[in-house]
Structure 1
Amino acid sequence: MNPFVLPWLSAVSMFLGIFFFFAGTVGLLRFPDTYTRIHALTKADNLGLGLVIVGLMLQTESWAVVLKLLLIWLLALAASATACHLLARHTLRSEHPPRVPASPEPR
């Protein structure tokens, strides 16, 4: 691949990852209940971490480092899914129902 394109692809991937981290944080702060907050946080953070990892993979010259980064991402995916599942289950068992927006009155 062209040596001028690779750093740009890496930078774009990392900036997109940072954007998704920011979007997940905004979702965590803005959404009304626990269920929507963890949904926004897990989706955006997993994608953000994946894009940052891809950006780092494009900068490395060793296949061993690429495999280590891929393993880190897979372990983070598993940990995030497990933690959010446990949090949602605890919230449901503690009888905090999801907030459903009130439907508008029929005219």
Structure 2
Amino acid sequence: MSFWIEALICLFLILGSLFALVGAIGLYRLPDFFTRLHGPTKATTLGVGGMIIASMIFFGSQGDGLSLHELLITLFLFITAPVSAHMLAKAAMQQRVKYIEKTQGKPWDQ
């Protein structure tokens, strides 16, 4: 494998890992439920996407060609993450989960 392909794979792995780390830190550090939804749905989705792109480049350079598995994982991830976050937010609104004052879009009184 050439140096440039390895460098590109390393770049996507590092970027994906950094996005996943930022998502995990956001999930831990953000103050209320509604702001915590952004960590796993946005940053972690990009993190897994970067790792899947690195996997596609690696296995594509091995002579096997592009795998349908990586494309299906990417499609499944980008469809299910926003839908699950929306369902969690709607359920939290229904249960009137407490939020901090900085959270915008208050549909109910605490």
TM-score (norm 2): 0.81
Question: 2:4 — aligned with what?
Answer: 5
Provide the rounded CA distance (Å) in 1 between the counterparts of 2:84 and 2:91: 11
- Please, which runs of 5 or more residues in structure 2 have no aligned partner? 103-110
- Please, which runs of 5 or more residues in structure 1 have no aligned partner? 102-107
Count of residues in correspondence between the two structures: 99
- Structure 1 residue 96: deviation in Å? 2.1
Identity %: 30
Question: 2:106 — aligned with what?
Answer: none
Q: Report the 3-state secondary structure (helix = DSSP H, G, I; strand = E; otherwise coil) of the residue aligned with 2:96.
A: coil
Per-residue CA deviation, residues 42-90 of structure 1 (Å, 9 max, x unaligned), is 110110011001111111133341x320111110222212211111111
- After TM superposition, the structure 1 = structure 2 runs for residues 47-58 of structure 1, keeping only pairs within 5 Å, are 47-58=46-57
Amino acid at match of 1:6: I
Amino acid at match of 2:83: T
Amino acid at match of 1:12: L
Question: 1:63 — aligned with what?
Answer: 65
Provide the rounded CA distance (Å) in 2 between the counterparts of 1:64 and 1:22: 27
Q: Report the 3-state secondary structure (helix = DSSP H, G, I; strand = E; otherwise coil) of the residue aligned with 1:63.
A: coil
Amino acid at match of 1:94: Q
TM-score (norm 1): 0.83
Query: Would you identify which runs of 4 or more consecutive aligned residues in structure 1 move more than 2 Å?
Result: 61-64
